[in-house]
């Protein structure tokens, strides 16, 4: 499935507003701020045509008002409401992956357009350093959380689903990692944790966060 543009009014504004849920933990709130800054930096570098702006107003559950995107944690179930539609999906609060629920409208023969996106990240993503660092299970560090948040921002900004994921041969932050168990290089301290993708000669560790030319092109096309 190709990327889906947002509504004309949103597209013309060249920005998406993002509401951070009040229930975010301090570490996830810090990650939210870092991810906004990092996305906007990459948008400037790659001329994506869109920026992310924090909002104090949550998305309207019945219509198109409020923020375009909601960012929140979940554990056990990812649930919400948008465009007068409820949903609930099973979601792990400890695995290193997120989930973005997109809401689109289509009128007649027109192409679908994005209206809202609800981003869910795991409340306490856990990594296991028992084998590599002589440690044990603990909460993932900020670099791993940043990767998860940025991956979901790409889903939301481009209106993309899992079929649009980057292949391991072109690893970037939108790579299609195994949902339940992406590989994490566990550092001696949380700040050193990194997500590892692929194998030599395409082995890549994140952060730093990167966008491939393919993903840049997908986003540019829906925001140009």
120-174 pLDDT, tens digit per residue, is 999 999 998 655 555 678 999 999 999 999 999 999 999 999 999 998 888 899 9
Residue 131: per-residue pLDDT: 52
pLDDT at 104 over 80: yes
Write the burial class of residue 18 (CB in 10 Å: 0-12 exposed, 13-18 middle, 19+ buried): buried
Q: For the chain, what is the mean pLDDT?
A: 92
Give percent of the chain above pLDDT 70: 94
Domain boundaries, given as residue ranges, for the chain: 8-209+217-223
Report, as an integer, the average pLDDT of 194-202: 81
pLDDT at 188 over 90: no
Residue 180: per-residue pLDDT: 46
Residue 172: per-residue pLDDT: 93
How far apart CA 59 and CA 6 sit, in angstroms, is: 15
Q: Kindly give, in sequence order, each residue whose CB lies less than 8 Å from that of residue 162, ignoring residues fewer than 6 positions away.
A: 176
Which of helix, strand or coil describes residue 134?
coil
What's the predicted TM-score (pTM) here? 0.94
- DSSP lists the bridge partners of residue 183 as 196
Contact at 8 Å (CB) between 19 and 29?
Answer: no
């Amino acid at each position: 499935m190709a990327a889906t543009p947002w509504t004309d009014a949103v597209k013309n504004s060249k920005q998406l507003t993002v509401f951070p849920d009040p229930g975010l933990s301090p570490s996830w709130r810090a990650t939210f701020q870092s991810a906004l800054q990092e996305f906007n930096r990459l948008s400037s570098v790659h001329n994506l045509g869109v920026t992310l702006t924090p909002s104090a107003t949550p998305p309207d559950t019945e219509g198109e008002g409020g923020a375009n995107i909601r960012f929140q944690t979940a554990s056990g179930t990812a649930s919400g409401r948008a465009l007068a539609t409820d949903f609930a999906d099973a979601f792990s609060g400890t695995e290193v992956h997120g989930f973005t629920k997109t809401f689109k409208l289509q009128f007649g023969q027109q192409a679908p357009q994005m209206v809202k996106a609800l981003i869910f990240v795991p409340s306490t993503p856990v990594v296991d350093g028992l084998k590599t660092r002589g440690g044990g299970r603990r909460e993932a560090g900020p670099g791993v959380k940043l990767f998860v948040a940025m991956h979901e921002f790409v889903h939301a900004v481009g209106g993309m689903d899992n079929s649009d994921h980057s292949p391991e041969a072109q690893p970037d932050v939108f790579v299609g990692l195994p949902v339940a168990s992406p590989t994490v290089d566990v550092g001696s301290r949380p700040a050193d944790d990194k997500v590892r993708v692929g194998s030599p000669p395409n082995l890549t560790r994140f952060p730093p966060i990167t966008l491939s030319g393919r993903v840049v092109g997908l986003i540019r096309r829906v925001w140009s």
